Structure 1
């Protein structure tokens, strides 16, 4: 009984400590295949009104995979999270990204990396 009580303190995990950045990174890591390097992740910020339009565009493209979005507390937090995400390899800013509405929704999806892309050679050679 004492062992179980002692282990409960070690295994106690507070879900409020998990940040939005860690949540997004965990989701990307869980949907990433190391051997499949012809895809890159694209991330962006948008408003609540435009997130449905972006989801429709991404999901209608058969080559895009794993679309998901998260709500940040405000635009400043969303922008900070986006800035930190784009520092990782295979994560680039989406062309659907929109700063003008100062939205708080961060979206991410996996898209193919075209061979004529500027970064194609750095990712594959």
Structure 2
């Protein structure tokens, strides 16, 4: 009965929307999409790129998860990693997943992100 994944939600601290927008749009190249009017008062922001939808929701007492993360497929992973490094983001390569090249990074509020590219 499951047909797909609509979105992944990550938590964020109150007041971080501007910083998140600068990162997800300016660094990752995603597009911010408007939240439905009924949800705007909750804060946070939503982003899309291709079929990837990330929702950043405001959480009082926010603490980034140490392990949980979305796995985001990319092309030209070396150039993508270089882009993050050029913007001051951390990049930690991991070769433990057969058939893929991948690295982990963090957004400005500490959410862990995995970027991977299948090997041809």
TM-score between the two structures when normalised by the length of structure 2: 0.29
Q: Which has the higher contact order (CA 8 A, sep 6+)?
A: 1
TM-score between the two structures when normalised by the length of structure 1: 0.28
Larger Rg: 1
Q: Which has the higher helix share?
A: 1
Q: Which has the higher strand share?
A: 2
